[in-house]
A and B are shown apart, each in its own frame.
Chain A
Amino acid sequence: MTPGKVFKLIGSLFGAAGVAAAITILSLGMRSVLNVGGTCASGNSPYVIRQQCPTGVAWLLPVSIWAGLGFLLLFYLCAPDGGKRCAILAWPALFLSLGWNFLQYGLPIQGHGAAAGWLVPGILFIIMGIVPLFFVLPGMIRTLRGVPPESAFSPIPKWNPSAGFVGNFDQNPNFAQAPPSNTPPGPMFSPPAPPTHSPPPRGPGGSDVTTELERLAALHRNGDLNDAEYESAKRAVVFGGGT
């Protein structure tokens, strides 16, 4: 492991620990404010303060917010490419922990009656924390298992008006020369096939290789093809063999 990688690992670990610490302090600070009624004030002021904030909370909360953002940036900059997306987990962690606080003080489980004023933000925060998990967790599990985020063998093809289904080789006319679907699948990450010396095939509809390549480049620019799909498609057009 090179020194650069060691520094990045340490930065990533410090970033993750710092974000966790910042969210924990925010949550604890919020609970201490909820304990005194949900609102408080502190400092020198011409106004009379009805409820003093618990000691230290008035500066801990803003500092933890900015420090947490800083640690999140540190984590994002230092984490390896596959781990950067984990930074998004700070959002559910923040909203679920604060939402739980609201719910705990809103529901009649702390020796007092239900408080709708805490229940509404509690439910809202829980929803805001849970919903993103449905979108980010599958990708993280794929990354953990070593599968590319959008595999060329994705069972869900994308629809493109000019190219039909893109992303599923069996249904895409650009991959007409790929092995038929009843062929046993090969290893998922097999190295690319060596180029053959046969003359470049002509694409469907009589278009030549250049036109096909330009069309693929346009699809790639538009985001309809990811990098892996684009490379595979180029090989299929140029060498006629697919991957």
Chain B
Amino acid sequence: MTKRLALVALHLVAIAGGIVAAFALFHATT
């Protein structure tokens, strides 16, 4: 359970990073 939660948390951090990177890329491009 703890390992699964850690994996989910890790993926949520990655998703948040992806969203922030997308905002940065979009505003740098447009």
Report A's interface with B, CB cutoff 8 A. 9, 12-14, 16-22, 24-25, 28-29, 32, 54-57, 60, 80, 82-83, 86, 143-146
Contact (Cβ within 8 A) A60 B30? yes
Q: How far is the CA of A9 from the CA of B9 in the complex (A)?
A: 13
Please pick, from A14, A24, A86, the residue contacting B14 in the complex, using a CB distance under 8 A. A14
Contact (Cβ within 8 A) A20 B1? no
Interface string of B1-30 (1 = CB under 8 A from A): 100110110110011111101110110011
Closest A residue to B10 by beta carbon equals A13
Contact (Cβ within 8 A) A17 B17? yes
Q: How far is the CA of A19 from the CA of B8 in the complex (A)?
A: 15
Mind listing 22 A-B residue pairs with CB under 8 Å? A9-B7, A9-B10, A13-B14, A17-B15, A17-B18, A17-B21, A19-B15, A19-B18, A20-B19, A21-B25, A24-B26, A28-B26, A54-B30, A55-B30, A56-B26, A56-B29, A60-B26, A83-B7, A143-B4, A144-B1, A144-B8, A146-B4
Contact (Cβ within 8 A) B22 A25? yes
Contact (Cβ within 8 A) A25 B26? yes
Contact (Cβ within 8 A) B18 A16? yes
Closest B residue to A64 by beta carbon equals B22
Contact (Cβ within 8 A) A21 B30? no
Please pick, from B4, B5, B7, B22, the residue contacting A24 in the complex, using a CB distance under 8 A. B22
Please pick, from B5, B14, B25, the residue contacting A25 in the complex, using a CB distance under 8 A. B25
Q: How far is the CA of A69 from the CA of B15 in the complex (A)?
A: 15
Q: What residues on B are CB-neighbors of A32 within 8 Å?
A: 30
Q: What residues on A are CB-neighbors of B10 within 8 Å?
A: 9, 13
Q: Which of A12, A16, A86, A144 has the most CB of B within 10 A?
A: A16
Give chain A nearest CB distance to B24 CB in angstroms: 10
Contact (Cβ within 8 A) A146 B1? yes
Closest 6 CB pairs of A and B: A17-B18, A20-B18, A24-B22, A21-B22, A21-B18, A56-B29
Q: What residues on A are CB-neighbors of B23 within 8 Å?
A: 24, 28
Please pick, from A12, A28, A54, A143, the residue contacting B11 in the complex, using a CB distance under 8 A. A12
13 additional A-B residue pairs with CB within 8 Å, beyond A14-B14, A16-B15, A17-B15: A9-B10, A17-B14, A17-B17, A19-B18, A20-B18, A29-B26, A55-B30, A56-B26, A57-B30, A60-B30, A86-B11, A144-B4, A146-B1
Contact (Cβ within 8 A) B30 A20? no
Q: How far is the CA of A22 from the CA of B19 in the complex (A)?
A: 8
